[in-house]
Amino acid sequence: MAKITYAQAKELVVHEAVSVGMEDLMRGRITPQGNMPLYWCNGIVFSFSSMPMNEQMTKEYMEGRIHWMEAHYAVMDRYAPIVELRDEQYGAAQKIRVIDTSKFSSLHADFVKWLKDNKKVR
């Protein structure tokens, strides 16, 4: 049997955290290839983009340091598994999946706590 080792992230480096309106957050997840999910944790819905992996980022990742280039977020008091964006530009309502990470991602919970503690949540 293979040995399994869990190595929790030690640090999340967020290079830009931007509060946006819910419609803008949803629009950012609509791509020609399909709609990308949003994440919800403890009253905040968000998306993030990771730094491209290169030799330096791989080294930092292996040391437990994760980099997010940007995190966009909005307040969403209650979790909903699907949110809809109705916009004439798309011709029909766009449905975007929302993943509740509040119970299984300590990293996401720590990020949301940091947002709230640093008054980044409006």
pLDDT in tens, 90-108: 677 889 999 999 999 999 9
Q: How confident is the model at residue 32 (pLDDT cuts 50, 70, 90)?
A: confident
Go through the chain and tell me how many residues it has: 122
Closest CA to 74 of 114, 111, 45: 45
What is each CA distance from 19 to 4, 74, 83, 93, in whole angstroms? 38, 6, 18, 23
